[in-house]
Amino acid sequence: MPAQRPRAAFEPIPLDLDVAALVESTPNFEYVVRIHCNSIDEHGLDNFDKLVRLHVILGGKPLVIEGFHERLDRSVFSEKWLRSHHSTKRKSTSLVMLCFAPNEFLLISNLGFKEEIARNLTAKSNLPLSIGHYLKNMPLLTNQWNSFNYKNSDRQRIYLKDIDCPQTWHDHLKNLIPPPLFYLNKHPEAFQGPGGESVTATEGHRTHANPGRKVGKPGDLMSCLPASMRAENLMCYIGHEGTYTPSHYEMCASLGQNIMVEASDGSVEYGMKTMPGSSIWFMTESKDRRVVSEYWQSTLGHDIDIEDHFAQINAWKAAPFRTYIVEQRPGDFILIPPLAAHQVWNRGTRTMKVAWNRTTVETLSLALSEALPHARMVCRDEQYKNKAIVFYSLEHYSKLLEKVDAKSMDSKQQQLLKDFEHLFALYTQVLLSESFSQDKAEEKDVEYVPFDSNVTCSYCRCNIFNRFLTCPWCAGGQTADGEDPYDICMECYVMGRSCACLSRLKWAEQFPWSELTGKYETWRDQICRLTESNLNGQIFWPLAEERARYGKKTLAEMCQEELRRRPWVDITKPVTRKVEDNLSDSESPARKRRKTKLSHESEEGGRCHICKYIEPIWKLASCDYCNQNYCYGSLFRAFNIQPQETMAVYRWMCPRCQKICSCAACRRYPSMKPFEPTCTLLGHDTRKIADPRSVESLVDFRQSNLRWLKKAGDDEIERLKKHQKEADEKRQQAMIEYHIQLEGSPRVPGPATDYGDIPVDPALEKLSGSILTPPDSITP
């Protein structure tokens, strides 16, 4: 089991919270920048688009555009309209019981209306409800709370979230929201919202193939996918007092858009008094994502990637980073930066919001390098098919630029070309990762599965673009869609995740390799034609040359080697290993030693330099400069080294040779500088999520690194300061790279140092060594 660490408990926000006083009295709290939507009319859509790109996408800060309530059609965006138009009669009738508190129940009849799935946040369960009856009973759900019982953990919090947006609302918003910010925007469109009058001057150019269509960069690259491959993420959220969204990042590092279209205003509705509705947002900057993640794990005891914790106000006050506050009211349109953590608390009788996500060139880069690896660790679905978006976006951009003259490009065409190059660089990395070894014979037995975008990893559930491994021995029984295969992505396989067979998996691909490489050379030639600096291949080389310059093993090459190294296990004849229970890393170093016998007498083994356990040689990383072996689990927890990092290099140097080994024996050497883990790893038990046929053969990712943190002194404050310094340096580098001029801003004072008001889950209060004790000082 994952090692337990004292965890901050859930603490509701009081009904009478004064947001203005809270921000005024808290040094590291700050209001989000606001602009009025009328200013878009004044300055034009082009300038507004530049503001969003500089402030939100590159600057990583949230932005609020207010005033849309003056332009929203109140006859459509209303509780009455939704209740009458979005509750469709069905033949069946059902009863739903709402429990406000012990011995307080209310039976609600759905009267045959269409059911939506609401979320019972108290019980962490789903609850089928019709929209009409949920809206009707929201005053009852709200009036159960008062200043004395708002912390009651037994009362229900029913949140109607992630429901499909009515088509009428979609059409009205599409005509109101600036097209570059709207859902699935592919090209400039006429609209009647703020900045609509300036579109004629900024409509772009017309394509050779379709002279009647305006040309510009897509606002949402998801629109470049075929319609059947797109993720539907235009959703509605309807909540009452005390409902909330836990702290999280937007999926796949995408940009979030959220507009409150209606809320209760305190008037009497259907004979019942209502409370004014609003939502309180706690938001961070993109640059602080690593320090936010470390603070969540080391101080609050939660993993923000799991999305299961709503941080209390005291935790935000004590945080060593800046927190942005918004009290969202009707007409407030919030733009959420990529990888910027945030959480939302709903107030009043009713709030109704519409939200969607957008994928851009910048967010794709973040998704592939950061968001997807994190999602893979916790087995979170990849709904946005990022590599496929790269591929189809390149096809779209190529068509837009096919007739462009390199000598007469204007600013818009130059921006298209810049995005095209950025996408091509991502595509280059995708192809390189899937390239087989140049030194070995070409894989011959590769199964071809025509691409339909629906192949996912059986372990981490990520979307697989092209090459993957499939096990012919573990193909399960019949499902509604046919046979149940066991497919594993290359990233998971090199991490040691696979089915119990471990080896003899077969290669499969969804595109002919010649098609992908042919597209590469075509797009490269197009870039070279449009960019003089590329005429001699100074930036983008032919794929064979790029492969020769790669300097390390590709992901596919690592899989090829591991398929040869790892033994095949006949799952019909399981081999038992005599192993004593493996204790958690959080327990005392004096724990019992594990006694292990190799599964096969003839299997070659070695002893790990760190844990001293004997393991088969394929489970060990062997140093190319000495005779030491390190098990992948010790490398991961003690040195933050993933298995693929050691497999990728042609000659691997172990921590001992690098003079950073932190084992007891090496610590005696004066020249040794023991490595200190740079982050907290709480451990993830993915057995309930991954395919039940799965195993982890190299690293037990359920285990934490808390024992190694204790050896290093568990200096969480120093780690947080280090992450904050790195974040500031990266942001400054981005400002220089994009030539962004900033106004001077005062330094944020150090946050409060009193952690004493953060309550701990009762079950964990008796644990010793709580990290929630007040530190001497915290500086940003």
Digit-coded pLDDT (tens) for 302-360: 999 999 999 999 999 999 999 999 999 999 999 999 999 999 999 999 999 999 999 99
Compute how many other C-beta atoms are within 10 angstroms of the C-beta atom of residue 476. Answer: 13
Q: Locate all alpha helices (DSSP H) within 98-249, ordered by sequence.
A: 131-136, 138-143, 167-174
pLDDT value of position 680 = 81
Per-residue pLDDT at 439: 84
3-state secondary structure (DSSP) of residue 62: coil
Strongest mean pLDDT among 426-435, 565-574, 689-698: 426-435
Q: Where are the domains of the chain?
A: 385-572
Better-predicted residue by pLDDT, 601 or 593 = 593
Predicted confidence band at 441 (pLDDT cuts at 50, 70, 90)? confident
Minimal CA–CA distance to 301: which of 689, 775, 777, 769?
Answer: 769
With 60 as the cut, is the pLDDT of residue 593 above it? no
Report pLDDT digits (tens) over 25-51: 999 999 999 999 999 999 999 999 999
Q: How far apart are CA 237 and CA 247, in angstroms?
A: 16
Dist. CA 67–CA 69, nearest whole Å: 5
pLDDT reported for residue 627: 85
Here the tokens at position 352 are: 């109704």
Provide the pLDDT confidence category of residue 732 given band limits of 50, 70 and 90. Answer: low
Residue 253 reports pLDDT greater than 70: yes
Round to whole Å and give the CA distance between 346 and 351: 7
Instruction: Give 632-678 pLDDT, tens digit per residue.
Output: 999 999 999 999 999 999 999 999 999 999 999 999 999 999 998 88
CA atoms lying within 13 Å on the CB side of residue 73: 15
Which pLDDT band, with edges at 50, 70 and 90, does 141 fall under? very high
Q: Is the predicted pLDDT of residue 688 greater than 70, yes or no?
A: yes
Q: What is the DSSP string of 684-706?
A: ---TTTS-TTEEESS--TTS--H
Q: How far apart are CA 476 and CA 479, in angstroms?
A: 9
Closest CA to 697 of 411, 560, 494, 511: 494
Whole-model pTM?
0.86
Mean pLDDT value across residues 419-442? 94
Contacts of 718 (CB under 8 A, 6+ apart): none
Pairwise pLDDT comparison (133 vs 341), residue with the higher score: 341
Instruction: Please provide the distance, in angstroms rounded to a whole number, between the alpha carbons at the two ends of the chain.
Output: 34
Backbone Cα Rg of the chain: 28
Q: Residues 282-302: what's their mean pLDDT?
A: 94
Count of alpha carbons within 13 Å of 627, Cβ hemisphere only?
Answer: 2
Tell which residue, 338, 339, 327, 297, has the closest CA to residue 315.
297
What mean pLDDT, rounded, does the chain reach?
Answer: 84
Full strand arrangement of the beta sheet holding 255-263: 33-36, 63-66, 333-336, 255-263, 351-358, 235-239, 158-164, 115-120, 125-130
Q: Pick the range with the lowest mean pLDDT from 378-382, 531-535, 692-696, 734-738.
A: 734-738
Give the C-alpha separation, 698 to 504, whole Å: 17
Nearest to 299 by CA among 284, 287, 309: 309
Q: Which amino acid is at 658?
A: Q
The whole-number pLDDT of residue 780 equals 34
Confidence of residue 722 (pLDDT cuts 50, 70, 90): low
The residue among 357, 140, 110, 384 whose CA lies nearest residue 258 is 357
Closest by CA position to 631, among listed 601, 663, 602: 663
State how far the Cα of 339 lies from the Cα of 251, in Å rounded to an integer. Answer: 8
Q: What is the mean pLDDT of residues 392-405?
A: 94
- What DSSP state is assigned to residue 356? E
Calculate the alpha carbon distances from 126 to 116, 123, 158 in Å.
Answer: 10, 9, 9
Helices (H) and strands (E) in the chain, counts: 21, 32
d(CA 53, CA 740): 11
The β-bridge relationship of strands 63-66 and 95-101 is: unpaired
Q: Please report which confidence band the pLDDT of residue 92 belongs to, taking 50, 70 and 90 as the band edges.
A: very low
Residue 288 · residue 296 · CB < 8 Å: no
Beta-carbon count within 10 A of 712 CB: 18
In one-letter notation, the amino acid at residue 82 is L
Tokens matching residue 262: 């209606």
Beta bridge partners of 535: none
Which element (helix H / strand E) includes 128? strand 125-130
- Identify the pLDDT of residue 407: 85
Is residue 688 exposed (0-12), middle (13-18) or buried (19+ Cβ within 10 Å)? exposed
- Residue 246: count other Cβ atoms within 10 Å of its Cβ: 16
Residue listed under structure tokens 């004072």: 749
DSSP assignments along 218-270, one per residue:
-S-GGGGS-GGG-----EEEEE-TT-EEEEE--GGGPEEEEEEEEE--S-EET
Q: How much of the chain exceeds pLDDT 90, in percent?
A: 67
Going by pLDDT thresholds of 50, 70 and 90, the confidence category of residue 685 is confident
CA–centroid distance for 365 within its chain: 13
Distance, CA of 262 to CA of 394 (rounded, Å): 39
| pLDDT: which is higher, 504 or 198 | 504
Instruction: Quickly list H helices, 550-677.
Output: 555-565, 632-639, 643-648
DSSP code of 747?
A: P
Calculate mean pLDDT across residues 105-124. 72
| Single-letter amino acid, residue 511 | F
Please say whether the beta carbons of 149 and 104 come within 8 A. Answer: no
What stretch of H or E contains 721? helix 716-737
* Helix, coil or strand: residue 162: strand
**Could you tell me whether strands 63-66 and 33-36 are parallel, antiparallel, or unpaired per DSSP bridges?**
parallel
* CB 660, CB 639: distance < 8 Å: yes
| Mean pLDDT, range 250-269, rounded to an integer | 96
Q: 3-state DSSP helix/strand/coil percent for the chain, to nearest 5?
A: 30, 20, 50
Sign of the torsion formed by the C-alpha atoms of 296, 300, 302 and 308: negative
Residue 250 CA to chain centroid, in angstroms?
Answer: 6
